[in-house]
Structures are given as C-alpha cells and as structure tokens.
C-alpha cells in the first residue's frame, strides 16, 4: 500500500502536529506501508525558513526510510490576516504543482487540516494519482478561525464553509484528533465514516522506570532536590493565557521551595518576560524550547505540569498534546481546561487536578493541594501512566489506524 501525507507542518519543525504526524508515519512505515510526505519548507514556529532550506523552491529528501517532498511557502512574521492567507495559499499552489509532477500513483492520500485550503489540493491530487482521500481534522475550520477572530470577512467564512463541506463529502474517510471533533462532524454528516485518530505518546521513549537522568537537570539548573517544581512546556502564545502562571507565582513567592519553569518559544514570550521583571519574580524561570530527545530528562525532574488555556467555549474540545508526555513520566497535571480534556484525564483517568480557566485563585489552591500532599502527587502520576498506556499509546493508535486503512 502506498500512502502520501499532505501537510503544511512536518519535522524538522517542532510542534504538536509535526510530532503527531511524524510518529504516525514512522509506525505505518514499520507496518509495511510505503509512506511519503508532501510538505512545506520548514519555518515554524520562528516563521523563518530554516537555514539549510533557504533559497530553495522544491527539494526531495529521505527521513527514516520515507521520501519527503518539500515545496516553497511564503513566510512572514506579520500577524495580519492578509499575510497569513498568503502563507497558506502559497503552499496550496506550490504543493499542487510539485505533487502533480513528482508524486507517483498512490493508494491513499491523507491531508492534515488546518489549513483547510489544503483540502482542495488533496482532492485534486487524489483524483490525479488514483488515491482514496482521508481528511484528517485537528481543528474545526472555519469555526475556530471565526471564534478566534482570525477570519471575520463574511465572504471568506462562507467560502471556507463550502470548502469544508466539500472536503467532508469527497473523503473516503474523515478522521478527527479529538472525540469532540468526531462528534461535531458526525452530527452534521451522519452518512460519513468518521474515525477518532487520537494523539498520544511513545510510552517506551518516556519510560519513567528506565530513566537514568533523574536529578541531573535539576542539578544543572541549580535547583534543589527539595524544590517543588511546576512546569509549563510548549508554545508561549495568546491562547494559553500564561499570565495566570506568573500571577500565581507572585502570590506564592513566600514559599521559597515552590519554583515555576516556563519552557518554549512564541509570540507572547517577550511580553511575559517583561511581566516577570515588573512583578520581580525570583521563583519563575524562562527557558527556550529544547529538542524532543531532551524532554524526558526535564520532565523526570519536575513535580507537576500546569496546562492552561483561555476560557473560551472553543477550547472545550481541545486536548493539548503536551499532556501525554507528563503521564508517561508519571507526572500529574494541573489542568486549566474545561470540556473533553477534563472529562478524560481528570474525571475519568484521575491523572491530575483541574482549575477553572483564568481563575488565578483556583490555580493557587490546586498548586497548594499538591504541594501539601506528596502522596497524592505520586498517586495521580501512577494513574496517568496507566491511563495513557491503556488509551493513548502511539503503537496501539497506529496499529488500530493501520487496520482501519485496510477497510477503506
């Protein structure tokens, strides 16, 4: 079986969709599928073409036995809607051109949305290459774009809705990253086959029992073994509302052994760093993002992760990918999120505690609850590993999807 994945985002970029698609592709390759990738020149999250790819319009390379086809994309650090659309549409046209000329016949074409506009390219390429189309939805567009204020133009919204419905109708299989996405699409298109293609974690990579790095990261950062370390690792953007962590740190500054670590890059980082200076925080530390291979050593040395999002109905269906690595390393989460994630990981899995999104006092209370009950921290961590192993193990996810591919 030949399968091509069409996605704007792929390693060496660092991010949730990049990692999720790479891990799935590698596992499908291991199961005998001939996997290739059609993607853009790497540029995220810096919004700058990576050094080794600058000046190139198209290139072909190998990665873990998979052929990677890369095509040109317009990149800008500007947040304007026009520049963002140019970013999306440049890859739409370049990937269509490159795919038509370079891709051989395929059995299946899986396209990642957003960006939604890639759906049109996927349909045309699938037709040209004799492939069945899988439309994989990691975020509901244009619904999310409208609620976040990314797109407000009525004509664009209407056009995007028409394209969304077209892609769903033409797909042999629709897959969604969360149960909420699956339920949303199934309710609108009950005649379609909609599959929950979960995100997850490589349990073996993050094996807490086999980690030989315990304590090394703390020591390298001059953090005491007795410090209670609260961690955030990921994109530092607007949606996360990370100001709440800095405000909580201010309220807990009299607890000399409670330390906060924020690791990652993103557009809000300069603003938050200035906020740290303004508040005079000596118990909170910023770090740049690190390669994935280094994360297990860091997570093994923390006590709990704080995972917040803004209080928006839109995020009730979100499942932040950073949650899974914590579970695999037996670390509980302090989850500032309502909806599906809370139902799965707090109410059902008992893998952490939840606070009301954007409620600073509730976050402080939950931090102190764990700080004052280390037995609870250990219990929640054990629950997290068990729950992730049973329900969000990447090997199981890939095997189930492999079996699903045989039926379409």
Q: Is residue 207 domain-resident? A: no
Say if residue 167 is exposed, middle or buried (CB neighbours under 10 Å; 0-12, 13-18, 19+).
buried
pLDDT for position 209: 61
336, 301: one domain = yes
Q: Is residue 211 domain-resident? A: no
At 345-382, the pLDDT tens digits run 999 999 999 999 999 999 999 999 999 999 999 999 99
Q: Is residue 193 domain-resident? A: yes
Q: Is residue 210 domain-resident? A: no
346 φ, ψ to 5°?
-100, -55
72, 141: one domain = yes
Q: Is residue 208 domain-resident? A: no
329, 291: one domain = yes
Q: How confident is the model at residue 150 (pLDDT cuts 50, 70, 90)?
A: low
35, 117: one domain = yes
Query: Considering the chain, what percentage of its residues have pLDDT values greater than 70?
Result: 96
At 313-345, the pLDDT tens digits run 878 888 988 899 999 999 999 999 999 999 999
399, 305: one domain = no
Helix or strand (DSSP H, E) at 360: helix 360-371
Phi-psi region for residue 178, left (φ > 0), alpha (ψ -120 to 50) or beta? Answer: beta
Q: Is the pLDDT of residue 149 over 70?
A: no
At 197-234, the pLDDT tens digits run 999 998 887 766 655 667 789 989 999 999 999 999 98
At 239-279, the pLDDT tens digits run 899 999 999 999 999 999 999 999 998 889 999 999 999 99
The whole-chain average pLDDT of the chain stands at: 92
**Domain of 90?**
2-200+393-405
Q: Is residue 209 domain-resident? A: no
79, 8: one domain = yes
Mean pLDDT along residues 83-112: 94
Domain harbouring 125, CATH code? 3.40.50.2000
**Number of domains comprising the chain:** 2
159, 278: one domain = no
161, 34: one domain = yes
pLDDT for position 44: 83
285, 161: one domain = no
196, 233: one domain = no
190, 243: one domain = no
User: Measured between alpha carbons, how far is 323 from 317 in angstroms, rounded to an integer?
Assistant: 14
Q: How confident is the model at residue 84 (pLDDT cuts 50, 70, 90)?
A: confident
222, 326: one domain = yes
Q: Are 160 and 354 in contact (CB under 8 A)?
A: no
């Amino acid at each position: 079986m030949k399968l091509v994945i069409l996605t704007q985002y792929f390693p060496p970029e660092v991010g949730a969709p990049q990692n999720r698609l790479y891990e799935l592709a590698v596992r499908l390759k291991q199961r005998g599928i001939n996997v290739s990738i059609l993607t853009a020149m790497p540029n995220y999250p810096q919004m700058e073409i990576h050094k080794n790819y600058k000046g190139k319009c198209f290139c072909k390379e190998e990665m873990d036995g998979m052929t990677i086809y890369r095509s040109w994309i317009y990149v800008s650090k500007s947040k304007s809607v026009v520049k963002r659309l140019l970013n999306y549409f440049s890859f739409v046209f370049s990937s269509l051109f490159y795919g038509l000329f370079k891709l051989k016949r395929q059995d299946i074409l899986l396209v990642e949305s957003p960006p939604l506009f890639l759906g049109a390219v996927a349909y045309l390429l699938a037709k040209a290459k004799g492939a069945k189309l899988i439309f994989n939805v990691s975020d509901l567009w244009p619904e999310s774009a409208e609620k976040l204020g990314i797109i407000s133009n009525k004509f664009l919204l209407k056009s995007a809705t028409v394209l969304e419905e077209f892609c769903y109708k033409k797909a042999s299989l629709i897959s969604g990253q969360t149960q909420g996405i699956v339920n949303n699409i199934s309710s609108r298109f009950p005649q379609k086959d909609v599959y929950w293609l979960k995100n997850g974690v490589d349990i073996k990579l993050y094996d807490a029992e086999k980690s030989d790095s315990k304590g090394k990261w703390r020591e390298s950062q001059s953090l005491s073994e007795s410090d209670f370390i609260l961690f955030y690792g990921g994109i530092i953007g607007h949606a996360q509302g990370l100001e709440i962590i800095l405000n909580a740190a201010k309220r807990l500054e009299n607890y000399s052994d409670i330390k906060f670590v924020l690791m990652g890059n993103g557009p809000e980082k300069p603003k938050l760093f200035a906020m740290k200076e303004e508040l005079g925080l000596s118990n909170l530390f910023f770090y740049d993002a690190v390669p994935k291979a280094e994360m297990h050593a860091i997570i093994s040395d923390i006590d709990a992760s704080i995972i917040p999002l803004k209080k928006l109905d839109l995020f009730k269906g979100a499942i932040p990918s950073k949650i899974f690595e914590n579970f695999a390393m037996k670390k509980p989460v302090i989850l500032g999120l309502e909806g599906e994630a809370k139902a799965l990981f707090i109410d059902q899995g008992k893998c952490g505690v939840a606070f009301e999104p954007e409620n600073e006092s509730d976050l402080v209370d939950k931090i102190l609850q764990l700080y004052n009950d280390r037995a609870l921290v250990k219990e929640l961590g054990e629950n997290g590993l068990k729950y992730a192993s049973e329900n969000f193990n990447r090997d199981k996810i890939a095997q189930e999807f492999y079996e699903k591919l045989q039926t379409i």
